[in-house]
Amino acid sequence: MTTATALRSRHLLGIADMDPGEIQLVLETALAMKEVATRPIKKVPTLRGRTIINLFFEPSTRTRMSFELAEKRLSADTLGMTTAGSSVVKGETLSDTARTLEAMAPDMIVMRHASSGAAHQLARICRASIINAGDGMHEHPTQALLDAFTINERKGRLAGLRVAIVGDLMHSRVLRSNVWLLTKMGAQVCACAPATLVPHGLTELGVEVTTSMDRAVEGADVVMMLRVQQERMHGLFLPSVREYFTLFGLTPERMRRAAPEAIVMHPGPMNRGVEIDSEVADGPWSVILDQVANGVAVRMAVLYLLAGGDEERN
Amino acid sequence: MALILLKSVNLVDPVAGRQGQFDLLIDGGIVSRIGRDLPTDGARVIELPAGAVVTPGLIDIHVHLREPGQEHKETIATGTASAVAGGFTAVACMPNTDPVNDHASVTEFITKRAAEAALARVYPIGAVSIGSRGDQLTEIGDLRAAGCVAISDDGRPVATALLMRRALEYASMFGMPVIDHCEDPSLKGDGVAHEGAVASLLGLRGIPGAAESVMVERDASIAELTGGRVHIAHMSARQSLRAVRAGKERGIGITAEVTPHHFVLTDEALKRNGGYDTNTKMNPPLREEADRVAMVEGLRDGSIDVIATDHAPHHADEKALEFDIAPFGIVGLETAVPLCVDRLVHAGVIGLTRLVELLSANPARILGLPGGTIAEGAPADLTVLMPDVDVTVRASALRSKSKNTPFDGWTLKGAVGATIVGGRTVFVNPDVPALKVLR
Amino acid sequence: MSVVMDADRLSRSLARMAHEILERNRGVEDIALVGIRSRGVPLAARIARHLKELTGVDVPVGTLDITLYRDDLMRHPVGPQPVIRRTEIPFSIDDRVILLVDDVLYTGRTIRAALDALIDFGRPKSIQLVALVDRGHRELPIRADYVGRNIPTSRQQSVHVHLLEVDGRDEVEVQG
């Protein structure tokens, strides 16, 4: 696999359409970007004069702040637009919101939306480069990229690692993006959830699926825990938090089955005592805070790579 | 009206057992004689171009005309114009208008509008329950008297087994079937696509095939219990077909229809063109290849009785919403014949004779409608097909008010040449100049 | 292609420049070297070694990637984004004399970008420029303080610096 020299698309809508060379390019660029955070003046002039709109239809403090920081560190002009729910709730369609933004001629739009496919829809309407910051249950590409960066940083590689992903797989865009990325980069993925929360299509991608937490964690180099939302209790997916934690919670005992030097990850925000024990979240295995720091560097890399070479790619 | 002699036309009429060259004499809109070498006798003689096939008028028994209440999507005038452009001399329209067709006054409104449009015949289907809410039976006798030919709560399933039972018992007094949109609401949940690998990877909530088959099985049991006739609307899942076959074997009064999109497309269509095209969103959803293949097989072996389009117009603004919230449905009246002829007849799955059964004879029989065959003394409802003429679907040129079709740009072999209702030519395909003689 | 500097000449130029640096700055106090990626980096390392031989002092050495400061980044008509490599300046540049080291001085735009980058790292006492080759055609008012060799070229020509550490040999060639 050779590192690409550029990204093929002018959008980042998902990992599904990226090839390993492009993923590698983002990770290498992020490494250089990470250094900017160590300088006294944490800013480079690279995207000076570029306008980036952060369009968040779903509340999200950490992802939004991470993008904003990345944009500001690259000297871009950033505008945040946090708006309620879907078209129906707002009273204005996504199409119309998009066209209104188009009129302001942004160079890039970072969007998070509750509907799968919303980023694709935006890309069809807007001339700006679109970065998907999470669309419904579909993908969250920058999360998967920062997860990969963090794994690479700690383990020196992705290929051949055994990665366990545990939690509400069915409703998780983080799962989908990570499965795409890790399988493309040659890692061995084991996905674990109660049977009611296992989605179709994973085994076809070469992912091992299990309902046994012990089996998933056994020998894992990376254990990635996903959030389980309260609503799942009401949707007849799970009987109770107590039972979920008993069967699927990441405890120190379970971590002892993992490979030596295993790391624990979580996209956040964490539900302590639901999917993860505090002792693990705050313990020596945890790289959760590194993920946050790396998020800024990875997002800077993505913004940089999408911003350049406009004429050719259009 | 005129005396017209259609000379030596290629007739396909399975009910009458006629296949081959025949003369048709039409007097005042009625078929007065069918035979060979009929005397001309002052009639206007019309010869059709080579390749033309004349069939009994096609009948689409599952159409949403949207009037009253949703005229921004379609009206009875535009809907029947779309129907005749699709080769249909008659349509049966579903009651989920606004207000619901749960009262004779709404039925009368619909038939009045249809008569004003004077294009395709319109046979209203009345609601099973008031407002289709599933609580109380409608005045089915009254609806029948006003012109309804069947009852259905389409848009929704017949809410409970008990309601289905009562509806079947009551409707059988009038010889009417109950048409059910089979779907268990709890299994459907807030699904928007077929539950499978495609929906999962696109992040779309799924509707399993079992959501449909569970209710088909229920309806088969209740048809058996009551001796009534149930017709399964827009069947899509192979499990449903299995239940229909089993029911027929037991001699239960159960029939089924399938839409062209369910035997042509699969859930792979949701990935096309960057993905999330709402013109691939309908209910029941496009399912897996195994389901599609099962539907084709069902058409071939006779387990499926009818092809009906479930023509569901929606305004462009509504379909431009996010996939999750865009309304379900696509138009189908003008793409049905090209899809059927290209993907079934030319593909060697069935012959034209069987196609006429599926699109005319069986629909007429199941709903007790006139037509389905060309008979002396009956109104001249005829469809002229040009099975070897290519058609390129252009959404913008559809006569329907709405353009929500996934087939835009498709080139198919099999065109509608002309549509004749009661001896009046109501549609001639402008791309077949030789048929102008019919005007 | 013609060779304008062979290995011998190259290494003598570097040795001479090291002496000039010492002379001009009256010693190595407060001096630090920053090599501009990519070939400025091994050159800076070599100069540091010469300075150590001459004074016994380990002069700090950093590497600078100026990609993020280039003025032509978003103007590429064709071609991919330039690849960024790490910048590592593991010392404070405040109040130091920074010797910027590059292999070829041409239009001066790379040096302008390097100056912008350095200013973001702190406030040096002064910045001096070391260039192995000056090929002329400045587009900005920038000049080198120490030059290995002046090689007049035409705009159509290109200058290729090969270094042992990167290319396996020491040689400067002019093409065209």
Across B275-316, the runs of DSSP E, i.e. the strands, are 306-307
In angstroms, how far is CA A78 from the centroid of its own chain?
21
The parent domain of residue B47 ranges over: 3-54+378-438
- Separation CA B90–CA B122 (nearest Å): 6
Contact across the interface for B203 and A116, Cβ inside 8 Å: yes
Q: Same structural domain for residues B423 and B350?
A: no
| pTM of structure | 0.89
Q: What is the pLDDT of residue A85?
A: 55
Q: Which two tokens stand for residue B53?
A: 């096939």
Among candidate residues B154, B305, B310, B381, the one labeled active-site is B310
Q: Same structural domain for residues B285 and B256?
A: yes
Question: Distances in Å between the alpha carbon of C26 and those of A224, C19, C30, C147?
Answer: 58, 10, 11, 18
Measure C11 CA to nearest chain A CA, in Å. Answer: 31
Least CB–CB distance from A309: residue in C81, C88, C116: C81
Q: Do chains B and A touch (3 or more CB pairs under 8 A)?
A: yes
**Gap between the terminal Cα atoms of chain B:** 13
Annotated catalytic, B184? no
Q: What is the pLDDT of residue C68?
A: 87
Q: Is residue A309 pLDDT above 70, yes or no?
A: no
Across C72-150, the runs of DSSP E, i.e. the strands, are 97-105, 126-134, 146-150
Q: Which amino acid is at B24?
A: L
Q: Are B147 and B105 in contact (CB under 8 A)?
A: no
Domain CATH number, residue B97: 3.20.20.140
Q: Same structural domain for residues B61 and B50?
A: no
**High-pLDDT (> 70) share of chain B, %:** 100
Q: Same structural domain for residues B359 and B416?
A: no
Q: Same structural domain for residues B336 and B399?
A: no
Q: Which two tokens stand for residue B316?
A: 């462009």
Q: Same structural domain for residues B327 and B384?
A: no
- Separation CA C176–CA C2 (nearest Å): 9
Which residues from chain A sit within 8 angstroms of residue C86, using beta carbons? 31-32, 35
pLDDT tens digit string along B72-92?
999 999 999 999 999 999 999
Measure B203 CA to nearest chain A CA, in Å. Answer: 4
Q: Is residue C84 pLDDT above 50, yes or no?
A: yes
pLDDT tens digit string along B229-272?
999 999 999 999 999 999 999 999 999 999 999 999 999 999 99
Q: Same structural domain for residues B291 and B390?
A: no
Q: Are B12 and B356 in contact (CB under 8 A)?
A: yes
Which residues from chain C sit within 8 angstroms of residue A305, using beta carbons? 81
The total number of structural domains in chain B stands at 2
Q: Same structural domain for residues B28 and B61?
A: no
Q: Which amino acid is at C125?
A: K
Q: Is residue C81 pLDDT above 80, yes or no?
A: no
Token pair 């949109």 in the structure block, residue: B181
The fold for domain A141-292 equals Rossmann fold (3.40.50)
Q: Is residue A84 pLDDT above 70, yes or no?
A: no
Q: Kindly report which listed range (A38-42, A161-165, A183-187) carries the lowest average pLDDT score.
A: A38-42
Token pair 């196609």 in the structure block, residue: B355
Q: Is residue C82 pLDDT above 60, yes or no?
A: yes
A196 — phi, psi (to 5°)? -70, -15
B73 — phi, psi (to 5°)? -90, -45
Considering only alpha carbons, which residue of chain A is nearest residue B276? A117
Q: Break chain A into its structural domains and give their ranges.
A: 15-140+294-306, 141-292
Domain A15-140+294-306: assigned CATH number = 3.40.50.1370
Across B348-423, the runs of DSSP E, i.e. the strands, are 382-392, 411-421
Across B236-350, the runs of DSSP E, i.e. the strands, are 254-258, 306-307
In angstroms, how far is CA B316 from the centroid of its own chain?
22
Q: Same structural domain for residues B132 and B198?
A: yes
- Separation CA B313–CA B310 (nearest Å): 9
Query: Residue A70: which region, alpha, beta or left (left: phi > 0; alpha: psi -120 to 50)?
Result: alpha
Mean pLDDT of the region C36-49: 95
Whether B373 is covered by a domain: the verdict is no
Q: What is the pLDDT of residue A310?
A: 45
Q: Same structural domain for residues B247 and B126?
A: yes
Q: Which two tokens stand for residue C102?
A: 């590059």
Residue of A192, A256, A170 whose CA lies nearest to A218: A256
Measure C29 CA to nearest chain A CA, in Å. Answer: 23
Q: Is residue A129 pLDDT above 50, yes or no?
A: yes
Domain CATH number, residue B410: 2.30.40.10
Q: pLDDT averaged over chain A?
A: 92
Reduced to 3 states (helix: H, G, I; strand: E, B; else coil), residue A149 is: helix
pLDDT tens digit string along B108-140?
999 999 999 999 999 999 999 999 999 999 999
Considering only alpha carbons, which residue of chain A is nearest residue B204? A116
CB atoms under 10 Å from CB of C22, counted, come to: 16
Q: Which residues contact A243 (CB under 8 A, 6 or more apart)?
A: none
Considering only alpha carbons, which residue of chain A is nearest residue C76? A309
Mean pLDDT of the region A252-275: 94
- Separation CA A205–CA B131 (nearest Å): 46
**High-pLDDT (> 90) share of chain B, %:** 98
Domain boundary among B348, B367, B386: B367
Question: Distances in Å between the alpha carbon of B257 and those of A215, B61, B373?
Answer: 47, 9, 19
**High-pLDDT (> 90) share of chain C, %:** 84
Q: What is the pLDDT of residue A2?
A: 86
Hey, do A15-140+294-306 and A141-292 end up sharing a CATH topology, with the first three levels equal? Answer: yes
Whether B372 is covered by a domain: the verdict is no
